[in-house]
């Protein structure tokens, strides 16, 4: 069984994925960390040195490579399902499920504001108002893909543990 966690930057995919994998006794793979290991550089360096278009190509190659895995929780990058045919491939993958972690814009802003330097798409934004506007527009475009997920969970005001328990019960 493969569980793909989908959602915007800051929606908690990595932390929730880690917790859920422990509860299920599954492996956990964070796609960004996997790419960083394989490429030998941080995501920010990757964007600077190779550009976003090349990153999106490699992101597709690596997620396809991971489809061989079993009993695994995979936290995607926020943009992974929003390019090419990736979301359709994931939804039609046998013995797997796609789960959308939905987080409100104010919560995303408060989580991402202090961490924006690590995220190349938002690192240049200089006020919380700009970040709010950016996320609003970006989510509007990306929700078309995120909403194709087979299941979804609202993460606002819940602990990592509570969300992982909720996900576990969705999977039963």
Q: Is 101 left (phi over 0), alpha (psi -120 to 50) or beta?
A: beta
* Beta carbons of 66 and 29 less than 8 angstroms apart: yes
DSSP string, 10-77: TS-HHHHHHHHHHHHT-EEEEHHHHHHHHHTS-HHHHHHHH-HHHHHHHHHHHHHHHTT--SEEEEPP
Q: Which of 43, 87, 101, 125 binds ligand S3P (CB under 6 A)?
A: 43
Our CB check for ligand S3P shows the closer of 13 and 19 to be 13
* Site mask for ligand S3P (CB under 6 A), range 3-32, x = bound: ------x---x------------------x
Q: List binders of ligand S3P among 48-87 (CB under 6 A).
A: 77-79
What is the Cα–Cα distance from 23 to 44, expressed in whole angstroms?
31
| Smaller CB separation from ligand S3P, 120 or 166 | 120
Q: Which is nearer to ligand S3P, 120 or 160 (CB)?
A: 120
Least separation in angstroms between residue 122's CB and ligand S3P is: 8
Residues 114 to 153: which contact ligand S3P by CB under 6 A? 119-121
Contact 13, 101 (CB under 8 A): yes
Nearer to ligand S3P, 25 or 143 (CB): 143
Binding site for ligand S3P (CB under 6 A): 9, 13, 32, 43, 77-79, 119-121
């Amino acid at each position: 069984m493969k569980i793909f966690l989908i959602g915007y930057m800051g929606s908690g995919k990595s932390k929730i994925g880690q917790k859920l994998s422990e509860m299920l006794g599954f492996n956990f793979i964070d796609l960004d960390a996997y790419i960083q290991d394989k490429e030998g550089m941080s995501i920010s360096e990757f964007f600077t040195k190779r550009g976003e278009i090349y990153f999106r190509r490699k992101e597709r190659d690596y997620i396809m490579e991971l489809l061989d895995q079993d009993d695994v929780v995979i936290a995607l990058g926020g943009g992974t399902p929003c390019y090419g045919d990736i979301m359709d491939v994931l939804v039609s993958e046998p013995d797997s499920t796609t789960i959308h972690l939905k987080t409100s814009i104010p919560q995303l802003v408060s989580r991402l504001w202090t961490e924006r330097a690590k995220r190349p798409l938002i690192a240049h934004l200089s006020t919380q108002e700009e970040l709010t506007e950016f996320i609003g527009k970006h989510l509007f475009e990306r929700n078309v893909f995120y909403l194709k997920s087979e299941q979804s969970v609202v993460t606002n005001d819940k602990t990592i543990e509570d969300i992982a328990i909720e996900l576990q019960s969705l999977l039963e």
